[in-house]
Amino acid sequence: MTQRLIVVGGDAAGMAAASQARRRRGRADLEIVAFERGHHTSYSACGIPYWISGAVEDRDELIARDPATFRSDFDIDVRLRHEVTAIDLGRREVVARDLDGGGEVRERFDDLVYATGAVPTKPDWAEDGVAGVFGVQTLDDGAALRDWLDADPAPRRAVVVGGGYIGVEMAEALIRRGLSVTLVEQADQPMSTVDEDMAALVAEAMRGIGIDIRTGTEVTGLDQRDGRVSAVVTAAGPIPADVVVLGLGVRPNVALAETAGIPLGPSGAIRVDRRMRVPGAPGVWAAGDCAESLHRVSGLPVHIPLGTHANKQGRVAGINLGGGYATFPGVVGTAVTKVCELEVGRTGLRERDAAASGFEFVSVVAESTNRAGYYPGARPMTVKLIAERSSGRLLGAQIVGWSEAAKRIDALAVALWNGMTVDEMTGLDLGYAPPYAPVWDPVLIAARKAVDALDRR
């Protein structure tokens, strides 16, 4: 008998799962229906800041595969603008609302992939219906923001609320479009994904391109004129704004799962086993921003909502659904971003994570350059390493610097993944030529410095 797979959420994780399952099983064997409440499938939310800035001109370049391709090439029944409103695990069916046409459909499933992504944090003051306040979670959000920025007269003053990597990328995008930009952050530094000393370098670069950073500041409301935002309100006074962009982080989108009795893990995301099955809910799979991952360094379940994990997890679920065997090996928390030319990379545990996980550690910061000092364009690069005190094992790394900085974090991620000690790292055979590195690569200089620190312990 033909099996039925229902996918809830038609972006990275959901469609990776659906297409992998289809690659392994024909239509006579497996019928696939994917519900997506938005207007698009398989789009790159990661590209939104670059579309807003104008670095990417055409929105369609952000769409990896459209619904028509999924229908024609993968025989997947994609139902756009359909929101799944209930999952009945007992009756093995979902209820979906047609957001445009009205009405409801019920569909039976044998297997269900839950891939609903994450919900952006939206404070009460952003719910008041004042025009000019935007999130950037979906392509539709990005389109609404672009329309606002393209209007005549164009907005001149932007406030970005939240200094995580999305806030930082959006602040740069708006500066590039010629707006004056203020970034408001409740904490003492933007970029809390790295330690404070490294975040300070990022803040300095942001100020260097003209972004006004207000740290230790909370937005408590909005001022408006004729229904349009005119300022954000803070304890330190109003900050004028013609447009406000929210980058306040996300939480796993699990409300539907919770109501259905699909169990969550300690991180608040859906608990999964290494094949992306949900323990305690036979035939239910979860992947992407709604699911948790095992952190390979701390050993803890974590919620790290990134596209790189969503694609891999969806693929693993799809291979297993297709009758193959695949496992998701966990994460080490690698991430990269940039502020204009300044690149930022991180992997593993920050100091505060290492302390919270009970590690005793040393941390070192090494200053170097991205190229041989005599080679044109040599610029500073700062590498921070955190190593376990007793064993010398690398626990975490951060890099801030100019070109060739961000992707250097990959070498450190591989070292971390394989449990290398900083002593072993000092001998790594990394590439060297003057245009790409000094003769001692910044990573090797940092590893040597960490060994010295461990010797002095």
Q: Which tokens go with 111?
A: 């297997």
> Nearest CA to 114 among 312, 358, 291?
291
Residues 6+ apart with CB under 8 A from 36: 9, 10, 11, 14, 67, 78, 79, 80, 81, 82
Is 364 a binding residue for ligand FAD by CB under 6 A? The answer is no
Distance of CA 270 to the CA centre of its chain: 17
Is 49 a binding residue for ligand FAD by CB under 6 A? The answer is yes
Mark 177-206 with x for binding to ligand FAD (rule: CB under 6 A) and - for no binding: ------------------------------
Is 48 a binding residue for ligand FAD by CB under 6 A? The answer is yes
**Span near ligand FAD by CB under 6 A; candidates 6-14, 99-107, 356-364, 417-425:** 6-14
Residue 317 phi/psi, 5-degree rounding, is -60, -45
- As separate numbers, helices (DSSP H) first and strands (DSSP E) second, the chain gives 12, 25
The CA distance from 188 to 364, in Å, is 22
The CA distance from 261 to 89, in Å, is 8
Of 111, 185, 289, 404, the one binding ligand FAD by CB under 6 A: 289
The CA distance from 452 to 92, in Å, is 60
Mark 66-95 with x for binding to ligand FAD (rule: CB under 6 A) and - for no binding: -----------------xx-----------
Would you tell me how many other CB atoms lie within 10 Å of the CB of residue 429?
A: 5
- Cβ nearer to ligand FAD, comparing 240 with 307: 307
8 A C-beta contact, residue 206 and residue 213: yes
**Span near ligand FAD by CB under 6 A; candidates 37-45, 177-185, 270-278, 430-438:** 37-45
Q: Hey, is 155 helix, strand or coil?
A: coil
> HSE of 409 in the Cβ direction (CA atoms, 13 Å)?
26
- Cβ nearer to ligand FAD, comparing 81 with 448: 81
Of 22, 25, 37, 271, the one binding ligand FAD by CB under 6 A: 37
**Span near ligand FAD by CB under 6 A; candidates 114-122, 125-133, 366-374, 392-400:** 114-122
8 A C-beta contact, residue 432 and residue 411: no
Is 252 a binding residue for ligand FAD by CB under 6 A? The answer is no
Would you tell me how many other CB atoms lie within 10 Å of the CB of residue 3?
A: 15
8 A C-beta contact, residue 319 and residue 18: no
Q: How far is the CB of 232 from ligand FAD (least distance, A)?
A: 20
Of 288, 318, 333, 392, the one binding ligand FAD by CB under 6 A: 288
8 A C-beta contact, residue 151 and residue 131: no
Of 6, 13, 158, 203, the one binding ligand FAD by CB under 6 A: 13
Is 168 a binding residue for ligand FAD by CB under 6 A? The answer is no
Is 163 a binding residue for ligand FAD by CB under 6 A? The answer is no
Of 123, 249, 283, 307, the one binding ligand FAD by CB under 6 A: 307
Is 308 a binding residue for ligand FAD by CB under 6 A? The answer is yes
Which entry of 4, 24, 39, 46 is annotated as an active-site residue? 46
The CA distance from 140 to 127, in Å, is 17
Is 53 a binding residue for ligand FAD by CB under 6 A? The answer is no
Annotation says 340 is catalytic: no
- Cβ nearer to ligand FAD, comparing 298 with 337: 337
Instruction: Please give the positions annotated as active site.
Output: 46
Question: Which residues of the shown chain bind ligand FAD in the complex (CB under 6 A)?
Answer: 8-14, 35-38, 45-46, 48-49, 83-84, 115-118, 136-137, 166, 253, 256, 288-289, 305-308, 310
